[in-house]
Amino acid sequence: MSSSDQAENNSSNSGSGSVSVKEADDDNREEWEIRRDELKATGDGHFRSKAYQPAIQAYADALQLDPSNHIILSNKSAAHLANGEKSKALHDARKCVEHSDGKWAKGHTRLAAAMMSLGRYGEAADAYSTVLNEVEPNNEVAKRGLEDCRKKEQQ
């Protein structure tokens, strides 16, 4: 859940005795979904604190409940990359793209970042190009990333 989603979920309806959006959402979710989201939030907190190994574990636990959740796969990939585990970051980024049906720009940029960290600039450029050509033509992260790949390939 993004911070804007968290902020939205923590807001409440106006009027006395109202129920927050988060509480209303909890009423409609299965127990496993609530637990998955709690684990994701724990992982997000660890990641923000630069405690990458506990973040990875929390995301892995969340993925036990929802193995195809592309957002959690993306976050786990980022945590692996920040922890210096480049190949693991690449593995999770590939699964993220697969489970998002290739339609989520952030998954492709995670994939490209992992490839760049491994020195695979041509493949990273391809991933960034996919974002710009097929998913989100004005994505600034992909534009900058593609430029960085081209510079690295020329060195």
User: What number of residues does the chain have?
Assistant: 155
Rounded Cα gap, residues 21 and 27, in angstroms: 10
Rounded Cα gap, residues 89 and 63, in angstroms: 15
Could you report the per-residue pLDDT of 85-132, keeping only the tens digit for each?
Answer: 999 999 999 999 999 998 999 999 999 999 999 999 999 999 999 999
42 burial class (0-12, 13-18, 19+ CB within 10 angstroms)? Answer: middle
Angle formed by the axes of helices 3-10 and 21-28, nearest 10°: 100
Contact partners, residue 94, CB within 8 Å, separation at least 6: 111
Could you report the per-residue pLDDT of 54-91, keeping only the tens digit for each?
Answer: 999 999 999 999 999 999 999 999 999 999 999 999 99
Q: 87 φ, ψ to 5°?
A: -65, -40
For the CA atoms of 130, 135, 141, 142, what is the dihedral angle to 10 degrees? 20
pLDDT above 60 for 21 = no
Which amino acid makes up residue 8?
Answer: E
Taking the model in full, what pTM does it have? 0.82
Contact partners, residue 120, CB within 8 Å, separation at least 6: none
Instruction: Please give the pLDDT value at position 102.
Output: 86
Instruction: Please give the pLDDT value at position 140.
Output: 97
